[in-house]
Amino acid sequence: MSEVQALSNSYQNWYRFSRNPTAVIGLVIVVLCVLAAIFAPHITPYPDHVGAVVDFRNRHQPPSAAHWFGTDNVGRDIFTRVIFGFRVSLSLAFVVLIIAVPLGTLMGLLAGYFGGWTEIIIMRLTDVALALPPLIMALAVAAVLEPSLMNAMLAIASLWWTWHTRLIYSIVRQIRAQEYIEAAETLGASKVHILLREILPNCASAIAVKTSLDAGFVILIGASLSFLGLGIQPPTPDLGTMVATGASFLPDYWWESLLPGTAILFVALGFNLLGDGLRDLFDVEDVR
């Protein structure tokens, strides 16, 4: 493919992407959340409320111009804490996916291309992993090790890669019988070359879609874990923990749990819409 063609292709892709409203909305939400998380100390009205600030005169204040999302049970600004909470959510998704996606892809490539015992062992492993509820697994591992969110997320990553393996495996199985693979084999290309240069590029769009959808789901699981009390240690803001704390003041002080909850929904929605849009763009119907 020539340079000009590649350029016009990426331009075409961008054009089609920008015509897809769900994808654009998703991208905007994701970018907004990431930027907000990065620049949290500069854009939030009360950056010191991230810590163990106590201001009892201002506790349980409803949403107002001064406190957009109201204040919590010790008088801290909830909007500030929600923005900082994005940091935890996004870094969790990042940690899980940076482990699960490459590992899952590699395993899928190996199982799909080599077949035989490699395939049997890897695919039976994924069957086992599927049978374990990620949330319960994370709870159990966190209980056995130090009860920290990071350990719980590592436990989730140790299960999550299998979804990518199954996806890549099914794609590779379709591709490997095609003539250009046979041609490369006949020409004496190394296995590494075939896997990484001939097969992997054909999986790229599916990986992108799945990773985007996954980011949303991992954020949801992370939030559930902190809701159950496995969150980041206070006073660091964590959206799931905020919902749990606020829930004991329902329904009178509804903003203390429902607004952080909506924030979780917002960031998960962003990744989901983006993944959906990418799926339409790349035309990979069966990736979920």
Partner 1 sequence: MEFLAFLVRRLLWSLLVLFGLSVVIFTIARVVPGDPARMALGPRASVEQVADLQSSLGLNKPLTQQYVLFIGGLARGDLGRSLLTEQSVNDDIRETFPATLELVLTTIFIAFLFGVPLGVAAARWKDKWPDNLVRAIAIVAAVMPTFFIALLLQVLAGYVLQILPTTGRLPSGTAFNANITGLLLIDGTLKGRFDVVFEAARHLLLPATALALATMGQIARITRASMIDVSRQDYIEAARAFGIPTWVRLFKYQLRPAFVPPLTILGLEFASLIGGAFVVELIFSCPGMAAYGIRAITQKDLNAIMGVVMISGVFFVLVNLIIDLLVGIVDPRIRIRGRRA
Q: Which residues bind partner 1 (CB under 8 A)?
A: 124-125, 127-128, 130-137, 139-145, 216, 220-221, 223-224, 227-229, 240, 243-244, 247, 250-251, 254, 257-258, 261-262, 264-265, 268-269, 272-273, 276, 285
Q: CB 82 → partner 1: shortest distance, Å?
A: 14
- Identify which of residues 65 and 131 has a Cβ nearer to partner 1 in the complex: 131
- Identify which of residues 53 and 135 has a Cβ nearer to partner 1 in the complex: 135
Q: CB 244 → partner 1: shortest distance, Å?
A: 8
Q: CB 169 → partner 1: shortest distance, Å?
A: 15
- Identify which of residues 46 and 282 has a Cβ nearer to partner 1 in the complex: 282
Q: CB 111 → partner 1: shortest distance, Å?
A: 16
Q: CB 130 → partner 1: shortest distance, Å?
A: 6
- Identify which of residues 16 and 46 has a Cβ nearer to partner 1 in the complex: 16
What is the DSSP secondary-structure string of 66-92? SSTT-B-TTS-BHHHHHHHHHHHHHHH
- Identify which of residues 112 and 222 has a Cβ nearer to partner 1 in the complex: 222
